[in-house]
Amino acid sequence: MSLLPILRVDPKDMPELAIVCGDPFRAEIISQQLEQVKELAYSREYRTFTGEYKGVRIAVVSHGVGSPGAAVCFEEMVKAGVKTIIRVGTAGSLSDRYKTGSLIISTAAVREEGLTRQLVPIAFPAVADSKVTDALYEAALEANAPGAVGKGITLTMDAFFSGVVELPHAIYRQAGVLAVEMEIAALYVVALLRGIRAGAILALDGDSTAVDEGYDPHRSIVAEAVDAEIRAALGALVKLAEQP
């Protein structure tokens, strides 16, 4: 078979289990935890590595920022035979309980982006796979994160900095949504429509209502939380490899 048109990877080289993250540089950092690492391609924002973690073959792929671009990546991964995807990401806090340095396992995503309604009506829920969520939560509790570990609903948006329209963060905060980011709804909808399993873990990098005043994700507490979520995601994939 020829290369995937956008990821530029030969489908036969793609394992069934994968970690995805937004940042191509973070994909490289995650790949350093693997043995027999190979960089398969670096095409646009999509960087693909494969390797083994505790004897389990996995891929690490970057999906860029935002749902439409990320969905292209997820769709091509599914076409190549990937059956389980875990997103390792960062997000802004929406709750008083979980702040910078905490880890959140996303059980479902509010579909406040524009992409997924072009795939399936908006009444369809963007939910995680429960086995993936359970494995991530268990692994996150053991990952020594600098903050608390929680699980619950997250918000997926397209807007990062605000314009002149009021963003819906306050409403979702009242409704108990824990964090906001930009790609999980796309991941869960693609996974549900294509019949694969998906989950996501997020390191909180600041207060979602303060991004316009000053967003600084480059703090040591965030780096520690990201390291912890990477350990958790790798641990969860090892468990999930035994539960196909």
Examine residue 71 and tell whether it contacts ligand R1X (CB under 6 A): no
Examine residue 181 and tell whether it contacts ligand R1X (CB under 6 A): yes
Residues 155, 172: contact at Cβ < 8 Å? Answer: yes
CB of 30 or CB of 56, closer to ligand R1X: 30
The amino acid occupying position 173 is: R
What the block records as the tokens of 102 is: 């905490």
The amino acid occupying position 194 is: R
Examine residue 42 and tell whether it contacts ligand R1X (CB under 6 A): no
Number of CB atoms found within 10 A of residue 170's CB: 11
Please identify, among the stretches 102-110, 128-136, 181-189, 228-236, the one whose residues bind ligand R1X according to the rule CB under 6 A.
181-189
d(C-alpha 125, C-alpha 192), whole Å: 9
Please identify, among the stretches 51-59, 102-110, 137-145, 175-183, the one whose residues bind ligand R1X according to the rule CB under 6 A.
175-183
Examine residue 154 and tell whether it contacts ligand R1X (CB under 6 A): no
Q: Which of residues 15, 89, 101, 199 is near ligand R1X by CB under 6 A? A: 89
User: Could you confirm whether 205 is annotated as catalytic?
Assistant: yes
d(C-alpha 77, C-alpha 5), whole Å: 11
d(C-alpha 191, C-alpha 181), whole Å: 18
Question: Least separation, in Å, of the C-beta of 240 and ligand R1X?
Answer: 23
Positions that interact with ligand R1X (CB under 6 A): 22, 65, 89-91, 160, 181-183
